[in-house]
Structure 1
Amino acid sequence: MNIIEDLKWRGAINQTTDEAGLEKLTNKKKIALYCGVDPTGDSMHIGHLIPFMIMERFSRAGFHPYILIGGATGSIGDPSGRNTERPLQTKKMVKHNVEALTNQMKHLFGSDSNIHIVNNYDWTSNMSLLDFLRDYGKLFNVNTMLSKEVVASRLEKGISFTEFTYQILQALDFLTLYRDHDVQLQIGGGDQWGNITAGIDLIHRIEGQDAKVYGLTIPLMLKSDGTKFGKTAGGAVWLDPKKTSPYEFYQFWLNQNDADVIKYLKYFTFLPQAQIDELAQKVKDEPWKREAQKTLAREVTKFVHGEDAVKQAENISRILFQGNVQDLSTEEVSQAFNSVPTTEISSDPINVIDLIIAVGADKSKRQAREDVNNGAITINGSKVTDVDTTIQPQDHFDGQFVIIRRGKKRYFLAKVK
């Protein structure tokens, strides 16, 4: 199956500038392509992951992907998808984020990958304002720029000249990569269509209309209920394990609805069509087994965090299901209870009732005593039924944590200072 046909089957194509021409080109040779990300933060979240999974698909098919990290474009701000001006970051912040995203990309795709990482700061930082205006600004028609959705949507509230010029810089990226690396395809989100076509127009003006360059955008990812994909009650799901632990990451995918899971298997895994079709049938015939969700969680967690992270996440899940929290390692506690109510306590011995109140498991000592007497409280996996019990915070989990459970599912974490 041609790479473009595969992307169509996966529902991963929103728009292309010339689908037939691109399919014909990719049948003839292994082209170079690129996708960019601006360093607006020091980690990507799973929404960012979609186009880069496509880059990995191209890489596995023998093509030559380039990941562009926007040290230059990130300094001025992309107006795409925003109603107001993006706050400018300091040069120090941009530099830090560029380094963090570069390391994240290397972790995702590996040093031996066919994927190359470039920074557009390298070819823009020494360009003078006069050179920029004479060599490139002269080639852009303001009326055409104003008609681009990314700019037109901002005209009512206003857009700065800085953000207005963003599409010129991104167009320059495509031109530079075309000249230096024979890059013929740019991939991006649907909101990047105007910027992508600006790059194609620039290449055609400078290199001629015969230049074979293309654009491809991916669909906006929505859940079956129409809400935005990738958000939880706690916020975005990050690729950085310090922001979203591998266990939380695994659980996010494991908890997807039957209505969404096959779509996500197509987007976020490299499983072949036959296997995904088989999982789709299992969703219909045996939904209670959640085989598709388990496969999705394993595959995406393995890609982002590695095989060991999958094993650890599955081990944590099994232990928590059985209620045997005493079997968790200190690191696993940190992952599993990252999002539960957490309170700092001292390392001094503490009465169980006082501990329950301190972590907020109960609001009154009377209720806390009732819960203890009724066997509703477990501390570090052991049921406590004596209200006079003294808890030694340093006895478990290397003296760092105390786990309190009220009832069957309500957990609270005490961090030992």
Structure 2
Amino acid sequence: MAKMDTLAALDIGTSKVVCAVAEFSHDGDLDIVARGVYHCSGLTNGVLTNVSEAGDAIDHVIAEVEKAGYGVDKAIVGITGESVTSSYSTGVVAISGDDQGITKADIDRVIKSTNQVGVPSGSEIVTVIPRGFSVDNQRGIVNPEALIGHRLEAEAYACAASSSYLRNLRGLLEGSGIGVYDKGFIPSSIASSWAVLTEDEKALGVMMVDMGLGTLDLAIYVNHEIAYSSVLGRGGSYLALDVAQFFNIPRSEAERVILEEGSASAEFLTDGSGDKAIVAQSVSNDIQVTFTRRDLANVLEAQLDEQLGWMKEQMEQASTNLRLNVSGVVLTGGTSLLMGLAQKARKVLGVPVRVAAPCYPSRLPQNLASPIYSTVVGLLLYGVANLPVQERKSKVKSKQNVFQYIADWLNKVF
């Protein structure tokens, strides 16, 4: 298959680093053609804590991708952690000339002007998502190009991150020979949303939560647009920590038993399955610890109650402060695979809940068809739709064709 446009995405998480490369072919398919995954312990709850270990993990995934014949010198990169913040911002520019009409350059200027509003001290804007335009106070305009007016306003949703966090992340990537696309740092909540949410869900009002090992990344969409996002630096690792401490077993043993026998609540353990004995090695390594699946579920449920309680608080705050109504919740990420979690979440949150794996316009490789990989798949989808075409390695495809491909696919699916 001849190589056309290619785009690389990099998800640097608490438990793993994932790199994926997508490529457009002559027949218009957007195929994921290379993937690399490697265990990583260089981040804790979204914070870079060991540059050497994180750098080694990046080197390993890049080497895996290179084995498939795809060199990576630039990537779109997911970011997370409690230093990632968001806010609404507005911008306004004057339009010169009476009959010229608003140009793409004017639209770029007004979007850029929104970057100057509401940036927290010590942070920098990484992502700006236009939410609508006004021309001479006429609101609700989706695309103002070619309209005639004197005053162009834009409302945008802006995401920022700590400048020190971004400097450290850039340094980490540069150490592995990887640059970042212009506007290529994307919050994980936004990326995962691109991979798992349907247009119907975004229209009606939906909350997406990516339940990773280190963080919970949350985004709320209403009327097809992102309206709120937040990060909790308390992910699935806290489940393993609680289990390890309660039963006095190593963290690795805790992760194993959760994966093999875990449940979000003891009430989902029917037909006597809650009485099943679980044997694990103790911390002292000379004795074994025995407990039941019910015991394990009770420990997990206590931590899950805290995490689901935070989600409910975010829903209520969005409703009270921003008048955002959520009609459903979509969970993704590794922790979302815990048995019974959707049912448990439905009881706590009071709305329909589903667990989602990433959806992709062409065939998704089986080794990425899991909620674990929603962020990296979403980064590719976001990058294709939003990065300037010159930012990608391009020989034939134009930006217009890229957008048309995505639009055609969305029309077929939704």
TM bucket, shorter chain: under 0.3
More helix by share: 1
Per chain length, whose mean CA-contact separation is higher, i.e. which structure has more relative contact order (CA < 8 Å, sep 6+)?
A: 2
Decide which structure has the larger Cα Rg and report it: 1
TM-score (norm. length: structure 2): 0.26
